[in-house]
Amino acid sequence: MFGLVAHAVQISYRFPLPIWIYVLAGGAAVLASAPTAVLAVEDEPRVWWRSRWFRVPGLGKLGLAVCTVLFLYGLVTGLGGMTGQSHEFFENSITVMTWVDFWVGLGILSWLVGDIWDVVSPLSAAARALDRFLGRLEAPQLVYPELVGQWPSVALVLGWSWAELIWPAAKEPRTLALMSIGYCLFTLVGSALYGAETWLGNAELFTAIARTFSRFAPLEIREGRARLRPYGAGLSADEPLPAGGGALVVALLATVVFDGFSQTNRYASLEAWFLDRWSWLGLHTQLLDTGLMVALVVLFVLAYLLVTGSRDAASRYAPTLIPIAAVYFAAHYFSYLLLAGQATLGAIVDPLGHSWNPWGLGEYPLNKSVTPAVMVWWVQIVLIVWGHIVAVFAAHRVALRRGLAPRRALVLSVPLVLLMVCYTMVGLWVLAQQIRAA
């Protein structure tokens, strides 16, 4: 028996077979896809979708208006809640909408649908409006260093993950509201100095994540228009990732794996091992958790760099890791979104924690039947194995672009394929671990 959980939502499911069979079978499926790619993969993806643009009327304006209202509403409730109830996570709209609806929804929708965030983001709209205003004033702008690329987003994703997983104050509504205001000011200043489009694409964390994951998506969205394409087509058709783009993908994968692992009995045993040797860490558990999170991220990055062997190869193959990070993000969080997301309406209609319950919308139990345990587990298996197989095919296509023969490309990609197999097995193993008691 094991507990399947994302943050606060726990489900139990008894496997019909030993878990090691699932883990090995998942890894074997990914490994078997490598020789299949020799026969099935062409050096360029089919391009039937490239000329089929269509307009999405009202998507940008309506979505932007709704997101702006919700963002401002969240700030008001975060800063204005004075009762003890309003400081509870599921009783304040800013905490639920930020950590559940926005963060989880952003990651899943960005690869499942497309980069919707770019057209509905109030922060992006404000940055572009400021950019146009400064342009009319002919204000000078600095040149953004190409080598810096998305490294600011790498630092931000580590900070964001640390706040989500380790820093308790980040779940406090007022602290979260102040964090949001500070981050908006940071983004607007950066956009004013370097230009909105440059800053948003490189140093605005959520835009960088949405654009990265959307390379895997079936819908390409640009300037109010959209076009369909096969899943994964954007991995090779879109522009190369900026400097640091590969590190961003690996950091996203590693922090989500840490999130799942940190909730297990195995992690509790690891903590106990450190505490037995350095008892003073018992008074600084956040420091211990921070060190373990950083260590896992470093391990994932070093493994990728070791396998690719050079900076050029690491940059070239970085987009092929996007499906792995995207599907693991969804596998880990989707049940949490379906369950915890149900609290959103209740938090919105009772914004200040006064137990308001108009028409019964403020108080209601969460419906756990929407995520049957067996369905959750099999969706996770299918997502993880499918995403890794797509990554293997994408990596083979990258190798073919160097002018290599298919069999030669297969041989050279063996280390990367083995790394992807390891990622598959680690992901399934973490999801299957017993959850420690809260």
User: Measuring CA to CA, which residue among 378, 343, 262, 301 is closest to residue 26?
Assistant: 378
d(CA 113, CA 84): 39
User: Measuring CA to CA, which residue among 11, 52, 94 is closest to residue 351?
Assistant: 94
Name the maximum alpha-carbon separation found in the chain. 68
Segment 302-314 shows an average pLDDT of: 85
Residue 14: pLDDT band (50, 70, 90) is low
% the chain with pLDDT above 70? 81
pLDDT tens column, 164-216: 999 999 999 999 999 999 999 999 999 999 999 999 999 999 999 999 999 99
- Sole residue written with tokens 């990554």: 391
What is the phi/psi pair of residue 244, to 5°?
A: 85, -5
d(CA 4, CA 25): 20
Range among 174-178, 393-397, 409-413 with highest mean pLDDT value: 174-178
Burial class (CB in 10 A: 0-12, 13-18, 19+), 412: middle
d(CA 115, CA 110): 5
pLDDT tens column, 215-270: 999 988 887 788 888 888 888 776 788 888 999 999 999 999 899 888 888 888 88
